[in-house]
Structure 1
């Protein structure tokens, strides 16, 4: 069951999912009197009566809550915790909404059967490798290489001037900058879970005097963005590094307007190629795929784009692929591969516990790829899969 509340100071939704035994609150909960909360408090009480063992209270998308609301919901939870010693309450928060973790932690200090879990602590198991400042050069070079293809591809998937666009998992924001300059959307919201990446993005936008991009800190699987806002929603090279991409696609579907499109790009890293020294190169990228899988990331996701979009509820799927090669820019291609070696054969291999002999062979394949890229007769390629789907009207 779902309840909505709208008023001058409050705009929120409460929902109970009996299958997952989860009661959720999202939006702005700022009532002037407790009477405004009566239907939602009744739903919470009914939810408690219907569950056994544990009730999850999901506040991951709770943007604001005043003291009137907090004390009202807290009183129901604490009272029922004391009346039902057989029942545990797990309050699920997000690091994006830091105040919620601090505020609800007070309840866990009052009652031992109340536990607070910050859910995204473990949601992005490999992100720490990919969001530090040292990874900025690789992201900038990669975008430089892919943009020459995507600027031609994007209009086929719904990009046009004047639209409202969201760039989810925007990283250092360079794609949003390029889109703003090339296509001039009326609005761009660029969201990411990495504060360091967003700080860099804001700095570059200020230096280049690019306006109209709203850089936003947020969790892509629980965005503090309202339903049906955007004509075009993008997520590039990111679904493949999250262990539950369907959750992010569900959120992208939610914020996309009916008739709008969601655009995603992903890789199949084992299809990277090069000549000469093709066998060594192929071995390394096969192993790179396994390395990412160890950290619950799927660098083979590219050809799966079509299936993921269908399963998320999209229709009119458009799918294509392109190959970034050394013929575009041999030195830039070599720089990308060098960055891959530094990160993947460095920190990631070390954390997995790979042997020195393995790492040496692993590095050799990257160096052979660079050799192929810079060789006057060589050829080196990195394939990207693109797909978009339309949200039904």
Structure 2
């Protein structure tokens, strides 16, 4: 959202995944009334939130006293009117006095906390570093959710179902499903104990209950057969060298008549303009790199075949393109940088690439970032969604 009727332009955005309301730009109203639209959006954002709600002002370059008083009063009103709510304000040293001003709120309510971005992070920004893939998974959920939020319903997910999220990672997708679809039961399973610990912490932090986080191997789960109406496994089959083993287990735990839902990629179809040739060359190389490690990041369009081979029927399949137009282009740029760090860093080095080869490899990621952030640019990342019904 953009407000251009003031002397200086500012924006606000709400990230449901992180329960974070962010302000950007220059915030210098002459009167509180100029902020009515933004305050209304803030109230709407917090309406369905429990637990911790984040107000992020670190991307403001200016903020006058009228703006501070308006937001400070609203934050106090929120916590005083909601016993189930706490608010964390993230400031920045760029607008140095904002930290001192907002810190005063901590003395007025024990459910308001304030930190300066440069010195302290919070769950919505911090990534676990295990395995290299966690930074990617966190950011991609932010980018894909507003597509999948409605796609899930088209593939059969309904409120009140028994749901399993397999290879749940740090659990952010499970949290979003719990909030949006209110399943009667939701089990989230992963093989990483530290990821599950993080997931439990974030769910508790956001006041989300009803998710049963379980440690287990997706290819050999200690879950009973025929018990879930809807089973999800996102961006994970492409990571395993034998995805058919995972699908056997997804099929087994799904009830007859229930559905298995998967998402996967075809990374060589990532695109960007300008500098399209460099971008295409790098993502074609990504596919080769993954194949070197017996993984298939081109699996997306193959999903239908995999689901049929697993014994599922009534296959539904579609694709969507995540782009730099899906909200803040900086979010898209952030995930590209995550790819660069893992693929052109850790993985290319382990493959034995030379410094010169890695430099060329990195160039395409950097050009993709350029396209994502260019005022006339376009950058895209395609995702394939597929689901199938277990025969009765």
* Residue 359 of structure 1: aligned partner: 358
Work out the number of aligned pairs and report it.
264
How far off is 1:137 after superposition?
3.3
- Give runs of aligned pairs for residues 160-171 of structure 1, distance below 5 A: 160-171=158-169
Q: Is the 8 A contact 1:131 1:197 kept in 2?
A: no
Q: Is the 8 A contact 1:313 1:391 kept in 2?
A: yes
How far off is 1:141 after superposition?
1.2
How far off is 1:140 after superposition?
1.6
Deviations 1:3-42 (CA, angstroms, capped at 9, x unpaired) = xxxxxxxxxxxxxxxxxxxxxxxxxxxxxxxxxxxxxxxx
CA distance in 2 between counterparts of 1:313 and 1:135 reads 30
* Residue 216 of structure 1: aligned partner: 214
TM-score by length of 1: 0.66
State the 4+ residue runs in structure 1 displaced beyond 6 angstroms.
none
* Residue 373 of structure 2: aligned partner: 374
How far off is 1:136 after superposition?
3.4
Does residue 237 (structure 1) correspond to residue 235 (structure 2)? The answer is: yes
Does residue 207 (structure 1) correspond to residue 218 (structure 2)? The answer is: no
- Give runs of aligned pairs for residues 325-364 of structure 1, distance below 5 A: 325-328=323-326, 329-364=328-363
Question: 5+ residue gaps in structure 2?
Answer: 1-127
* Residue 187 of structure 2: aligned partner: 189
CA distance in 1 between counterparts of 2:168 and 2:133 reads 14
* Residue 258 of structure 1: aligned partner: 256
Alpha-carbon spacing, 1:296–1:133, altered in 2? closer, same or farther (3 Å): closer
Question: 5+ residue gaps in structure 1?
Answer: 1-129
Decide which of 275, 290, 293 is 2:291's aligned counterpart.
293
Q: Is the 8 A contact 1:131 1:194 kept in 2?
A: no
Deviations 1:26-63 (CA, angstroms, capped at 9, x unpaired) = xxxxxxxxxxxxxxxxxxxxxxxxxxxxxxxxxxxxxx
How far off is 1:138 after superposition?
2.5
* Residue 387 of structure 1: aligned partner: 386
Alpha-carbon spacing, 1:304–1:135, altered in 2? closer, same or farther (3 Å): closer
Q: Is the 8 A contact 1:133 1:197 kept in 2?
A: no
* Residue 269 of structure 2: aligned partner: 271
- Give runs of aligned pairs for residues 103-252 of structure 1, distance below 5 A: 132=130, 135-252=133-250
CA distance in 2 between counterparts of 1:245 and 1:265 reads 13
Q: CA RMSD in A?
A: 1.1
TM-score by length of 2: 0.66
Q: Is the 8 A contact 2:278 2:367 kept in 1?
A: yes
CA distance in 2 between counterparts of 1:340 and 1:286 reads 14
- Bigger Rg, which one: 1
Q: Is the 8 A contact 1:221 1:251 kept in 2?
A: yes
Indicate the SS of the match to 2:163.
Answer: strand
Deviations 1:326-367 (CA, angstroms, capped at 9, x unpaired) = 011311000000011011111111111100011000000000
How far off is 1:131 after superposition?
7.0
How far off is 1:177 after superposition?
0.2
Alpha-carbon spacing, 1:390–1:307, altered in 2? closer, same or farther (3 Å): same
Q: Is the 8 A contact 2:272 2:371 kept in 1?
A: yes
Alpha-carbon spacing, 1:349–1:144, altered in 2? closer, same or farther (3 Å): same
Indicate the SS of the match to 1:340.
Answer: helix
Q: Is the 8 A contact 2:129 2:135 kept in 1?
A: no
How far off is 1:381 after superposition?
0.2
Q: Is the 8 A contact 1:228 1:258 kept in 2?
A: yes
